[in-house]
Amino acid sequence: MNVKTNMLLFVDSATVAYMNSGANFRGMSHTADDDIEVYFQSATDASASDVVLLSCTDEKHVEAMKGLAGAIHGSASKPFTVVADDVASKYCHENVTAVESITLGQKGSLTPIETLTAARVVTKADSGTTFVCSGGAGKGITLPSAAAMGSGWNCRFVIGQAFATTDWIITATAAVIRGTVNITEIDDTTDHPATVAGTTINFELGAEALGDYIELYSDGTNIFLNGSVAKQAGITVA
């Protein structure tokens, strides 16, 4: 089958699937120890890209990429190729192991934005995302381990709505959070950046302000923090 007519199927879950043609394939890259990003011209916007993030066996990304290239080329006997199907546990190559995420219509360097109103388990695939914490009550957010994040992982949490009950609490798997939070409050006291190190980050009820934020970065061992709050004790780390 000609690559231009081969259809490629990716299944992330029972409710999330993606199909595009080999003609729209634009390349792939090894982005981390066990990740491969596969790029397609968007099926709905020729100026944008669809990105499928796949997991692969550690240090087997070259073999996995060769297998993906074969799948994208297709064969004359099949109208489509299952590249990765997490529901059926079917993959085009033994070193392709999972679909981590499917991002549609990505343009340039636009930042993915996700509004949180419930508890959330953050994953390696969420790197680069800005999470907007909204809703009347704070929730729990769980981070992956620094090792699972890998070097270069990053994200941002922003207060998008005042909360009436309970803190927003971001929890790491170990006491590896290190960094500072700048306090921008203007008053008669002398405010200094708050040096922090710990396992949990709290956006504190009653001290929150719209736009308070933290940014997290990982080197694969530590999670580095910087941020800004409008009031004393708006963010605490323990």
- Residue finishing a domain among 71, 106, 141: 106
pLDDT in tens, the chain (238 residues): 444 568 999 999 999 999 999 889 999 998 777 899 999 998 777 778 899 999 999 889 999 999 999 998 876 667 889 999 999 999 999 999 999 999 887 665 567 889 999 999 999 888 889 999 998 789 999 999 999 998 889 999 999 998 878 899 999 999 889 888 877 765 545 454 555 668 999 999 888 889 999 999 999 999 999 988 888 788 888 8
Q: Are strands 235-237 and 200-203 parallel, antiparallel or unpaired?
A: antiparallel
Number of structural domains (the chain) is 2
User: For the chain, how many residues are written?
Assistant: 238
Q: How far apart are the first and last CA of the chain?
A: 58
Cβ-contact 40, 98 below 8 angstroms: no
Residue 158 lies in a domain: yes
Closest CA to 180 of 200, 157, 196, 201: 196
Residues 127 and 220 in one domain: yes
Cβ-contact 72, 27 below 8 angstroms: no
- Residue finishing a domain among 106, 126, 161: 106
Please list the residues that pair with 168 across neighbouring strands.
203
Range of the domain at 36: 7-106
The pTM (predicted TM-score) of the whole model is: 0.56
